[in-house]
Chains A and B, each alone.
Chain A
Amino acid sequence: MENMNCVINRTKSLMKKFAVGLVGILMAISYPSFSQETTPALTYNAQEAQYYKISTVPIPDDIVLEVGGLVVLPNGKLAAATRRGEVWIIDVTNIDKPVFKLFAKGLHEPLGLKFKDNALYLSQRGELTKLVDEDGDEKADVYETVASWPVSGNYHEYSYGPVIKKDGSMYVSGNVGFYGHEWWRGYSMVPWRGWVQKVTPDGKITPFATGMRSPAGLGLNAEGDLFYSDNQGDWMGSGFITYLEEGDFTGHPAGLVWADRPESPVRLSDKDIYSRVDPRFAKPGEKPEKIEDDTTEKGTPFFKVAEDFPAIKIPSVWIPHYVMGVSTSDIIAITKENFGPFTGQVLVGDQGQSKINRVFLEKVKGEYQGAVFPFREGFSSGVMRLDWAKDGLFIGMTNRGWGSTGSEPYGLQKLKWTGKVPFEIKAVRAQPDGFELEFTMPVNKATAGNPASYQVTSFIYKYHPVYGSPPINDESCAVRAVVVSEDGLKARIVVDNLREKYIHEIRLNDVISDSQLPLIHPVTYYTLNNIPEGQKLETAHMGHNMNQGVVETSKGKNQKSKASSAKRVTSLPKGWSKPDAEIKIGTKPGLKYDVTKVEVKAGSKVKLTFNNNDDMPHNCVIVMPGTAIEVGNLAINLGIKGTEMNHIPNSDKVLYHTNLLGPGSKESIYFTAPTTPGDYTIVCTVPGHAYVMQSTFKVLPK
């Protein structure tokens, strides 16, 4: 009950914050709409658009379609559940003139939707609900509670689902909550938060698996097996998707507090985890201090802990943070033949980067693993839900509370294949001595047959209570040889230094198709949980179309800079008695700084303190006028090295910056303001944030 009171107090204090008044409100404006910058072309958008076209379903002004659940009904109409608790039936016969009809309302933030036996099923925060229209007036009259579960009343306790398996069993998932005490750490305050639960068609609900932190996506692959997606955060080095079986533990220990209950199928305790990785809880009586990555510590990857505990399920496919996405959402199998060459694979949405990734899955030694590829970006808001129409994919979106690369607050779009085959890496299959890459069309054998065209690096993440993780233990893997198949559709690369459980980044340089097209997405990340047995290539006896060569790339050095640099001076510079100006910057939810504008005099001595009071990492970078997006894009291109470089690209547009700060961390930097007056920008260069997280740094004439 103490916790409950804590919740109420926090709510009250939040309400007080609401009432702060106009000053606070002024701060709430997202400034970039006034900046002079135009949105730049996204990295891949233009090429992707030739093969997969996005169209927008217009939404009437009086409907706030923040999509939490989306399903295409047997009659071709769409049903969309919204975060405001409405369910809309949308007739999209003419996609430019959709007809919206309100089917249900008043639901508690539904974040899932499925149709079965003439009823809609959805998760509200505290229950699985069945909606039925009994009298046929296209409005729900029955709101039946199929099964309910406890919630403590925390904002972060979102519930998702259901996904329905062939046997009729349904699965729902729930986030951990974040509370005042150690607010960066997820807690499971009531039973089965941080769990996936199974619900039988007659409403019997049982705990199924735990370790979830923010399990926004539940889906089936083409074989009908259950997968779920999770997001980067505490104990989660990066987002991923994982095949889920009863009794699994997937990473976040909060839910384990209920694992000793008789109905729990999970045979693991949080003490097991904490015996291997220090959870760094605040000591009794001590004020909790925000925990940061200990860069001096090598770190323990999750798979190391898994070696000792059979209940642990490591990710099937990691979706590397920043480079592939920031907030994994829906999972859906490509079951359509009219959607291009990827039938049988799965699509995975990403809310923060407004994009969809594609995942190829294979089973090696009985376990799922595979490769993730960028697929399509440039959606208008945060990609949350996906479902198939006869002739394409509907995408339901919302970015409320977090922000997304696509700047619309919500939206509904449709993605259609144009019928043209894109030149892509279609699949990657693990081999005993490397990988086999399959392409969507024949490759140019000269480029694809050259080992120098391939660059392979492997890395993994730390498993620790800190928010996110830098890539660790990265090593380069020399590509010894390549064999291109006769038909030009496959390239088998022989790679040194393969490491099981590691993520292998495979980068292709200058590989073109037989028809001279460049690869649209020349990079993929393969999670090599198991190396298959089998025949290795005899690289000593070269075949006539086998090319041999060794491409060594320098070993990555994980030296995250803690020392000052010219652009980041963290102690009072010599000769300064005190700064002329002291600026304090914090954050607001939804990718915002808590000030829209700061002013200093040209050439003045400035102390800037950035206090990251958000629940995700940010930095604070002062850039030349009008270059925020440009610098943000340079930061995206840093790839997996981005985190260790604090997402600070080496650019003369960057004037001053803080390090990348985790939630709850603070840093002060000292610098002399530019001597040229103007509107400089303070921007967060964490990939995806630069589009929205900006404030003006105004330099006034002396």
Chain B
Amino acid sequence: MKIKNYVIGHLSRWSLFCLLISITFQISAQERKPMLLDVKNEAYVLRCFASHNDKVKSHAVAVGDPTNIHYLFDSDNGTLLKVWKGEFVDVAPMWINRGGGFFKTSAETKDISDVPVFAMLSDKNAIWPDSATFAKSYKFKGYKVDKTGRPTFSYSVNDLKVEDKMLPTEAKDGLSRELSITSDNEISNLYVLLAEGKDIKKSSKNTYTVAGKNYTLKLEGKAKPIIRESNGREELLLLVDGGKQANVKYTISL
């Protein structure tokens, strides 16, 4: 009888131990394992906090795509912050415990820009505005998603209305961006910041390399952008002047 009790006692303790271990691993898996968002069939538009160049982007949007070309957009500035290929986002920091975690991915991301996408410059040497200055003229309106879940962002800059659509390139090696700008008035002195970095060079017709960031940019159409030095770095700017609407389209190849 005693032996039986002893055995049962040990068995139950052992099974409890096994249960403990298995649940431990389940929970630990839950807490530790990255929680990757599924973008196999449809794009995913994720609003989040992000840290970019040690600055908080409190209204960031991570867009994941079935082609595995993903990007991070700053809805406070109309800025394309990052583009990358591979894993989309690990949402565990946002979705475990009290939340509030920041954008996270283990993929290698490419930083594109950190400053407002547009500026009205009175002359072409004027300093590019910072976010706080830009915020006074800018309003984010949200986005529409198409049947594949891909967004088109809308925002206004003064009296300009902008539709901003980014799509993976057909070769799945980068992102193409199309900015459709309309206004009730003649557009004047509007500059679009296509790229910024340490060293921007024209490599061939309408194609530029951003050396510090290691990517190439190809501008469509006949417009001629300028490369200028400002604040110790270079900016690739396109002037939009005249007319009530404009389309700017360019491709970033990783």
Which positions in A face B, CB cutoff 8 Å? 1, 4-5, 7-8, 11, 14-15, 18, 22, 25-26, 28-29, 33-34, 83-85, 105-109, 124-127, 129-130, 140-145, 148, 150-157, 400-402, 589-590
Which residues from chain B contact A155 at a C-beta distance below 8 Å?
98-101
Interface string of B31-51 (1 = CB under 8 A from A): 110000000000011111101
Contact A11/B55 with A25-B32, A143-B145 known, Cβ cut-off 8 Å: no
With both beta carbons as reference points, the residue of chain B lying nearest to A146 in the complex is identified as B142
Q: Is the CB of B51 within 8 A of A141?
A: no
Q: Is the CB of A26 within 8 A of B46?
A: no
Q: Is the CB of A106 within 8 A of B54?
A: no
Say if the beta carbon of B141 comes within 8 Å of chain A: yes
Interface size on B, residues (CB 8 A): 42
Which residues from chain B contact A18 at a C-beta distance below 8 Å?
31-32, 92-93
Contact A22/B99 with A141-B145, A143-B142 known, Cβ cut-off 8 Å: no
Partner of B45, one of A106, A148, A150, A400: A106
Which residues from chain A contact B31 at a C-beta distance below 8 Å?
18, 25, 28
Partner of B48, one of A108, A130, A143, A402: A108
Which positions in B face A, CB cutoff 8 Å? 16, 19-20, 23-24, 27-28, 31-32, 44-49, 51, 54-56, 58-59, 75, 91-95, 97-102, 104, 140-146, 151
With both beta carbons as reference points, the residue of chain A lying nearest to B42 in the complex is identified as A105
Q: In the complex, A402 Cα to B98 Cα: how many Å? A: 8
With both beta carbons as reference points, the residue of chain B lying nearest to A144 in the complex is identified as B142
Greatest chain B CB density within 10 A among A8, A22, A29, A145 is at A145
User: What distance in Å separates the Cβ of B231 from its nearest Cβ neighbour in chain A?
Assistant: 17
Q: Is the CB of A401 within 8 A of B99?
A: yes
Q: In the complex, A126 Cα to B55 Cα: how many Å? A: 16
Q: Is the CB of A106 within 8 A of B100?
A: no
Contact A26/B56 with A11-B102, A144-B142, A400-B98 known, Cβ cut-off 8 Å: no
- Can you give 30 contacting A-B residue pairs, CB < 8 Å? A1-B55, A11-B101, A14-B101, A15-B93, A18-B31, A28-B27, A28-B31, A29-B24, A34-B19, A105-B45, A106-B44, A106-B47, A109-B94, A124-B47, A125-B47, A126-B59, A143-B142, A144-B141, A150-B58, A151-B58, A151-B59, A152-B56, A152-B58, A154-B100, A155-B98, A155-B99, A155-B101, A156-B98, A156-B100, A402-B98
Which residues from chain A contact B59 at a C-beta distance below 8 Å?
126-127, 148, 151
Contact A8/B51 with A15-B93, A106-B44, A145-B141 known, Cβ cut-off 8 Å: yes
User: What distance in Å separates the Cβ of B234 from its nearest Cβ neighbour in chain A?
Assistant: 25
Q: Is the CB of B97 within 8 A of A142?
A: no
Give chain B's interface secondary structure class: mixed
Q: Is the CB of A143 within 8 A of B143?
A: yes
8 nearest CB pairs, A to B? A155-B100, A25-B28, A401-B98, A108-B47, A144-B142, A145-B142, A153-B56, A106-B46
Which residues from chain B contact A142 at a C-beta distance below 8 Å?
142, 144
Greatest chain A CB density within 10 A among B31, B92, B100 is at B100
User: What distance in Å separates the Cβ of B101 from its nearest Cβ neighbour in chain A?
Assistant: 7
Q: In the complex, A155 Cα to B93 Cα: how many Å? A: 10
User: What distance in Å separates the Cβ of A274 from its nearest Cβ neighbour in chain B?
Assistant: 28
Q: In the complex, A157 Cα to B99 Cα: how many Å? A: 10
With both beta carbons as reference points, the residue of chain A lying nearest to B47 in the complex is identified as A108
Q: In the complex, A84 Cα to B95 Cα: how many Å? A: 6
With both beta carbons as reference points, the residue of chain A lying nearest to B58 in the complex is identified as A151
Which residues from chain A contact B104 at a C-beta distance below 8 Å?
15
User: What distance in Å separates the Cβ of A604 from its nearest Cβ neighbour in chain B?
Assistant: 23
Partner of A145, one of B48, B97, B140: B140
Taking A11-B102, A25-B32, A34-B16 as known contacts, 20 extra A-B pairs with beta carbons closer than 8 A to each other, sorted by chain A number, are A7-B56, A8-B54, A11-B93, A15-B104, A22-B28, A25-B24, A25-B27, A25-B31, A29-B24, A33-B23, A107-B47, A130-B142, A143-B142, A143-B151, A148-B59, A151-B59, A152-B56, A153-B56, A402-B98, A589-B98
